[in-house]
Structure 1
Amino acid sequence: MLSTLGSSLFVTCLLMLVDRRAIAEDVSAEFESKVPAKLVWALEGDDVELPCDITPPIPADKVSMVLWFKDTAGIPFYSLDTRPSYDLRNAIHSAVSDDFGRRTYLNMDDVHRARLKVNKVTLKDQGVFRCRVDFVNSPTRSFWVNLTLVEQPTAPVIYDAQGREVTGVGGPFLEGYSLILTCQVSGGKPRPTVTWWKDDELLDGVMDAPSIIGTARKFTINQLFVEKVTKSLWGTRLKCRAQSGSLGKPIEREVPLDIYLKPAAVKIILNEEQIYAGRPIAARCETWGSSPAARILWRLGGVVLRDPNVATTQRTNSTVSKLALVVDKEDDGKELVCRAENPRFPGGVLEEIRILHVAYPPVVVTNLAVGYVLDTLREGDDLKLVCDVQSNPPPTSIVWYHYDTQLEHNVTAGTLVASNTLTLRVLTLRHSGEYSCQAVNAVGATRSPSILIRMKYAPRCREGLQWQEIPAIRHETLSLHCEVEAVPGDTVKFSWTYNNTRGDVLPMPNSRARNQGLSSVLEYTPAADTDFGTLACWASNSVGRQLSPCIFNVIPAKAPQSPLDCSLHNETSALEVNCIPGSDGGLPQHFLLEVRGGSLGQAQTGLLQAPQSDQGVIGEAPPIYQERNPKPVFQLHDLEPGYEYTVAIYAVNNRGRSDPVLLENIRVAAPLGPVERISIMLEDLKKVIPQTSSNNIIVIMALIGAASLILVGIGVVIGLAICRKRSAAPAPEGPDDFTTPTYVPAQRIEPRVGYVSDKRRSQRTSLYIEESRNEPDLLQQVEIDLQS
């Protein structure tokens, strides 16, 4: 392939050398007589494409060669040879080996259009290019392209109206006066355009002729003229933009404007519309629109205020001045003036005047009406209060308060409100407390300091201790506590009376009572039935005697009521008896359980029972054991199979014990030994489980859970097997059915569980207690035999 390419290049070079003189003469003649038909602009460093039309004049004709020449050179710097196949896809591209040749390449993307691409053009690359196209049968055609590089102008230079160059901020310019700025650039190809812009808005796009003769082609200028400066130009930045042609990059110069403005507005702001005498108010004066920021001066009644409390803040073109102003009634009608002035703008002064209207809210005091004295007020007296008000303007309304509750005129309740007075009829304890009045005028509302009303009253029982019922037994000493409320409380005296069961009201000796302050304690011992009755505690002070005494109803205590709703439960490890406590008879009670039984029966004769009376009292047989509990909950133990047991439950207090509740004919299928309570505390569990990581603990807990699930499953399987066996077994008859009545309430019937032991290993069995359908008051106990 290399040999073929070398041969082609050699042939091309040979042809070029052979026809060099003819081509040169032809090119020279054509260059002199032709003008470039296409103008192509480019920026230095850009890639540019030079077009060439390779369409044959005759449709069936083909391109033979394409040659590119530059300026007047007679030798092409780039050639395309399609011979001998005359196929553009197999054409041979040849270019000179210098820097320009390495940056050129002829693109043949279009059948009829060719584009010579020049990468990264430089100023040396610009000139007139000729594209010569040779055809097989048609005459040769040539196309001219003028490649011109854009030349950037110099950076814009800005001058003021006096011809001085503006290097930083333009101005200062005064509001209402004219503004002149000139922007100048030099050079540029094509000739640049110079324009003025404000926030992407074109201000001036007309270029002016230079004033110096002979510099028209060298400089390009644009003079900006604003007839009257307005506030809209304050704080803005103007831009001068120069650009050579559409391909030229815009070159900008920005100039900020310094404009002096007069104060546009000044305003006095008071934090309150109404000014109160003696009360500080915050006055604020705001001015804006001035540049630089204006100064503020305060005057009150023609006197300049130079108080140290005046604070002024200046920012951009606004100024805020704050004044802590305290006025009195003498300042009413005076002028408060705020003056704003621009120190750099002659005549830039603006001020506002505010006429002050001074007022003050009501001054209110609550007093007792003439003839009333606080120290002599007693329950049942009348009271009159007066609201003394001073205000400007006069008050429009007066409101009375008891603490924070507004009082309304109510004749029925004895509350009389009239103008500035409050009358309370027939004082009671609910009238005690703080009273105040509030006066309202056009300026505001003021509430007076409270006056405390405390009245004296006779003793009365403390809340919740008006009546008490005290159960007692004979010869029991009671401490009766009597507590009262009274004002004054330092002179309270107590007395006791007694109303026995026969209706006699008798005084009690004071020597038996201990009195201290607002309480009295009476030691009382009932010795006989006639000593039970009602005791009354009376108290008195300087106001009077107690109207209703404190009542203590001493009643004889009784033996407790029998426990209620006793039933036998099968718990996890024992049989348990549960009852509901009955009435305690007025005294603390506890509960007693006794278990009694009969002799061992034979399998042929059945079980023997312990004798019992008609009243439910156990016979002469001694109890197997007794158990005492504060609650009627017991666990049965020490019971052997083959016996029938009777359980009696009593309630006991100091007055005796109740009738027993009997659970009869209780029989177990396995011995119930002494109760053993097994409890594993958290600390013991920590000792059992080895100290290991959290992951091991999780594994151990998972294993324990899995083992628990397996045991539960085994229990369910065993239970199902037992139930199937029992359902298949025939019902026993005669003494072997073990069906005897027992005293268990029907509503507490539920499956029970008993236990037997074989070789010290416990197995679980079910003990069912169910209601007889024929006799609702009789319950049946059925035992289930265990499988070995």
Structure 2
Amino acid sequence: MKRMLLLMSLLARFVVAEVLLGDVDEPLPILDVIAVAGHKVQIPCDIDPPIKDETVIMVFWYKDERDDGPIYIMDARGKQIAQPKLWSDPYVFGERAVMKTDVKLAKLQIDPLESTDSGVYRCRVDFKDSPTKNQKINLTVIVPPKKPIIYAGDSRSLAKMPHLFNEGSEMSLECDVIGGSPPPKVTWHFEGKILDHSYSHEHDITTNKLDILKVTRDLLRARLICEASNTQLIPPVTSEIILDVNLKPLIVNITNKRPHLSALRTYEIECISWGSRPEAVITWWKGAHQVKHMARNFADNPNITRSVLSYVPTIEDDGKFLTCRAENPVVPNSALEDKWLLMVYYVPVVSIKLGSSLKANDINEGDDVYFECDVRANPKAYKLLWFKDNRELHQNTTAGIILPGEQSLVLQNVKRASAGEYSCMAVNVEGKSLGKSVTLEVMYAPICKDGSSTQVVGALKHETISLVCGVQSKPPPTTFHWTFNNSGELMSVPVTRFAQIKPLSLITSNWHGSRLNYTPQNDMDYGTVACWAKNRIGEQRTPCLFQIIVAGKPYPLQNCTALQSTGPYAHRMGHEDFKATDSRDADWLIVRCSEGFDGGLPLTNYELEVYSEENVYHANTIYLNHTDRSGSSGPVFEVPGLEPGRNYRLHLYAVNAKGRSDPVVLEPVTLKGVAMYTTGHGISDETTDYSLLVACFAGGVTAIFILIIGITLTLYRRNHTSQATKTQAVTTAATTEGAQPYEGKENRSTAPPATTNQAHRDGLKERINAAESLPDDDPDVIPSKAVERRPDIFEPGYTSGKLKSERAKDAFGCLEDLDYPSPASVLHAKDTWVYPNGYAVRNESGLSPIRPSTLPVHRAHDIYTRSLRVQESCI
């Protein structure tokens, strides 16, 4: 019976099983489960029994209805469900799968999940008594992508950390993601915002390329993230890049600009720049040229750069830009500039020039001349001054000086005196400046040097004198010509008989001259020699005249003054107004005089004779050589050994080869309170009248004597022409020496013995008497015993047997280039002469002669000789 019941029970189950198996072919609802590979997944399976007290005995898992049977089995037969027997297909799950039944809903847990685990699973649950239950689950396995890879630039080089970019440049980043099922989304993120969400998928690689056209300062140290995600079950896969940006300078500024600068002063100019990374390099530029070696750069902090320029502006910098340039050397086109337009104040720059229509070497007397002063100044000059030879010029219409405008000078009707150095001066707030002068040269016809027109020259007969005709002209003279006038005739000197001379280096280049050697032979040879010069401007209007007269004794000294002294050197030490504190100590006299006319012969010495009131004879004679005189205009005597309280009389003379002049008398001279004695003061009227009477009488006698001698010589030469060629040369030496001056203080302090002075005077008289006793047809010549050869000379003497025209031709037969002559003597002409060019001159008589200081006349010798042989060769 029991067996029967058991068999029926099995049959019933089989029938139910068959019914249930028949239901398997019917569609079952599918539950979708999504999981990520590499993670665990739990596939649910409902194993709850349909009725109470029912138990689960078996659970089978199938995949994709494979024919090879279940892949996982849980067997709870004869056991409790909490401790079932588990089996897993080693080729499918292995140990990765486990059945969880201790939860409300049983689950098949797979850990880790693989991509091959994806598929449709069926869970079959067998109960002890109840029918089998089937469930379908569709497991989708998501394969996450790999970590993104970031490339920089088109070269697809791996981006560095951090990666460096330049501000303002383009930036290109590419993010590549390999794998992922389904393919992932690849996006770029910055500060939580999506920068770019465009991507492309090709060959299992998903790519997103990020292009930034201009890198800005905001991207400094920015974190750019590339995300790859194909499910929300897990966080997206990311990679990031940190950007490092080289920044341009933000600001550059010259901090201490000034309204203006002064030229040639030193200024410290500061420039600051900030915002650059790395620090900026600051350079200075003046115009288009960089200023180097004068700037010092300082880095106060990594973001600020400061530069200080030691700057000395010049005139040329006015109107230029001084530029401070800040530049990041690693960032192209990153330079910033601050420009400062310079205004440079400077002292005026002055230049002067002749008017554009004028030629500097073609300005003649009477022309109008104008100058232009070019002034460049900042600020503008407020004053302009004109100068001639460093003396300021002012508007003077009468003098022909006109200042028509601020920068012009007009000279009307210029004269020789208008020549000189002209300059202009401009003044502004920076100072004053005198421009380089311009020389104005005025061309003019020749004139006599220093304006002198007449020189009177004393000459002995047969004495050769060298007449120098000095003229001033511009340009230099081209020709000279000479003429000779006397009361009888006018003769022109041949051009070949005189020579043009060069000026001395100490004389200005405007001085030019011609020289003529002249030798008077007789009375008719004394007259006027005229010199004319000519240049391209014209001929000299007024000639230079030389009045040749017979030489005689010198004129008296002039303006003699006696000054008492305590010693001989007080005057030499420069004490002009010294006086003795005690009259008893004043035993010296200092006597000074001015020279008069030298009589046409060089002065040889001076004499001072001292007479006391107790003795009619002179007590002392002092001789002073002409070349040793202390003063430039006359002698200075030192008279020692005078006794205070005694009266003295002083006689002063000038001496030449013809003898002594008339004396100048100083009396009375007493060494006591009085310190000064002057000619014309302290002398009685009777003495003055007496001296004047004596001088007039002596002059008259001398004139009559010269006239008689001249007439006698003329008659003698006419009657004895044949004797001139037969007479042998007779020469006698004429001495011009006087007593030598005493030398040294000892000689000055003691008077020479009277016998010595008297012997000297007697010897001199004997020599003069011997000379006068010689038979000579020319008593004005002091004979010489020494025979010497005379130079070639111009001797306009009259020779018997020749016409006047022939004598004029022969008169200039000898010419010699001598050295520059010494100063000559000047007297006044007597007659009125009319020259070929119409020039007429009349010299007034009665003028007292003075010693000349103009053109020189040279004497060939100090010893005057008479040589008939030489005369014959020159006539």
- Pairwise same-fold verdict (TM > 0.5): no
TM-score range, shorter chain: 0.3 to 0.5
Q: Which has the larger radius of gyration?
A: 2
TM-score by length of 2: 0.30
Higher relative contact order (CA 8 A, sep 6+): 2
TM-score by length of 1: 0.33
